[in-house]
Amino acid sequence: MARDHRPLVERGLALKKAGNEILELVGGRAIHPVNVRIGGFYRAPARAKLIPLAERLRWAGDAALETVRWVAGFDFPDFEHDHQMFALSLPGTYAIEAGTPTYRGVLGEPVGATRSFPVSGFEQHVVEEQVPHSTALHARLAGERYLVGPTARYTLNSQWLSEPARAAAREAGLGTECRNPFRSILVRAVEIVYAVDEALRIIEAYEPPDRPWIDVEPHAGVGYGATEAPRGVLYHRYDLDADGLVTAARIIPPTSQNQAAIEDDLRRFVMSRLDLGDERLQWECEQAIRNYDPCISCSTHFLDLSVIRTGDGPAERLAGHR
């Protein structure tokens, strides 16, 4: 792609770099940030350091809008799922770093019919379980499969996107909900527009604090937290003793939460494409997995697809990833 579409790849890399620069400034470095401490941050950036960053972000905003228009022109397979959709919600903002766990039921339930629970109740509602056919954990929400990530966020919270991001979504043909997982890349592009807007809004309102952390006295207790990672809801729980030592920890990543939905998508997707050749089918199945979780598919050839064709009626096909 870099050879055939160099300007597009350059634009994507420059957008990514703009994001990295935010993290380097706030987190101390782009990966495994070191500036975060208990109670806040070791150092807060000076306003002067944000000026060149804001300049770059204004460019990034335009680049993100162009990216939405480009992605909107992709050829998306006609496919809809009926999973529950789960994301954090925080009225007034498109929830990322905080919010109330909220979900929409299966397809057919009225738009706006949502249920929610406090973060401290996460493990009562979301249950991870072993399944006989896989080494991956599967999570269930209220006993049913569900999905997290861009399309769930968009469906539950699109009204809280910034105006430029909402306009970009409308122009790209996104409605009030998105149940086609192949269009998640389009939602991701809209979310980049929002992320840039939000970064600029924060920079404009920013006043460096006198001290970028608060004192925290250790005491026994349990801490719960949930954020929207790019792939979806990420939950952490830590049990602390009186000295502040962690005695138990629980992390529920998006991976296990989407697993059942990915498998269901794959099964239904394959069933509707039994006439395709193996190579084409593998390629489309890889796309179906990438819709949810680029971390599973960061390698180019991650899917071993075995097809057992029988002579009578639909073929039985088995797909697995390594």
When asked if residue 16 is in the footprint of other proteins (CB under 8 A), the reply is yes
249 binds other proteins (CB under 8 A): no
Tokens representing residue 206 in the block: 């920013």
Contact in structure between 214 and 39 (CB atoms under 8 Å):
yes
Minimal distance, residue 246 CB to other proteins, in Å:
15
Q: How far is the CB of 242 from other proteins (least distance, A)?
A: 27
Alpha-carbon distance of 263 to 319, in angstroms, equals 9
Say whether residue 170 binds other proteins (CB under 8 A): no
Do 269 and 305 form a contact (C-beta atoms < 8 A)?
no
- On the CB side of 116, how many CA atoms lie within 13 Å of its CA? 15
Is there binding between residue 251 and other proteins (CB under 8 A)? no
Q: Judged by CB, which is closer to other proteins: 16, or 47? A: 16
Distance between CA atoms of 244 and 231, rounded to whole angstroms? 30
Structure tokens belonging to residue 231: 């792939």
Looking at residue 276, the DSSP 8-state letter turns out to be: S
Of the pair 32, 133, the CB lying nearest other proteins is at 32
At 194 the three-state DSSP class reads helix
Least separation, in Å, of the C-beta of 286 and other proteins? 13
CB of 125 to other proteins, least distance (A): 29
32 binds other proteins (CB under 8 A): yes
Q: Which of 20, 100, 120, 282 binds other proteins (CB under 8 A)?
A: 20
Handedness of CA 68, 69, 75, 76 (dihedral sign): positive
Q: Which of 130, 135, 159, 299 binds other proteins (CB under 8 A)?
A: 299
From 3, 132, 207, 210, residue interacting with other proteins (rule: CB under 8 A): 3
Residue 10 interacts with other proteins (CB under 8 A): yes or no:
yes
Q: How far apart, in whole angstroms, are the C-alpha atoms of residue 95 and residue 152?
A: 12
30 binds other proteins (CB under 8 A): yes
CB of 141 to other proteins, least distance (A): 27
Of 5 and 219, which has the nearer Cβ to other proteins? 5
Position 287 contacts other proteins (CB under 8 A): no
Comparing CA positions, the residue from 149, 150, 170, 217 lying closest to residue 65 is: 170
Q: What is the CA radius of gyration of the chain?
A: 21
Which of 113, 251, 298, 308 lies at the binding interface for other proteins (CB under 8 A)?
298
CA neighbours closer than 13 Å in the CB half-sphere of residue 268: 14
Question: What's the rounded Cα separation, in Å, for the pair 259 and 44?
Answer: 38
Nearer to other proteins, 37 or 211 (CB): 37
The CB-of-19 to other proteins minimum distance in angstroms stands at 11
Q: Which of 204, 207, 301, 313 lies at the binding interface for other proteins (CB under 8 A)? A: 301
Q: Which of 279, 300, 308, 310 binds other proteins (CB under 8 A)?
A: 300
Check residue 31 for interaction with other proteins (CB under 8 A).
Answer: yes
Q: Does 133 help bind other proteins (rule: CB under 8 A)?
A: no
Return the bridge partners of 221, or none.
Answer: 240
Distance, CA of 51 to CA of 92 (rounded, Å): 27
Question: What's the closest the beta carbon of residue 298 comes to other proteins, in angstroms?
Answer: 5
Interface stretch with other proteins, choices 8-16, 154-162, 198-206, 207-215 (CB under 8 A): 8-16
Q: Are 119 and 224 in contact (CB under 8 A)?
A: yes
Q: From residue 83, give the alpha-carbon distance in Å to each of 46, 47, 130, 321.
A: 45, 45, 20, 22
The binding site for other proteins (CB under 8 A) comprises 2-3, 6, 9-10, 13, 16-17, 20, 30-32, 298-301
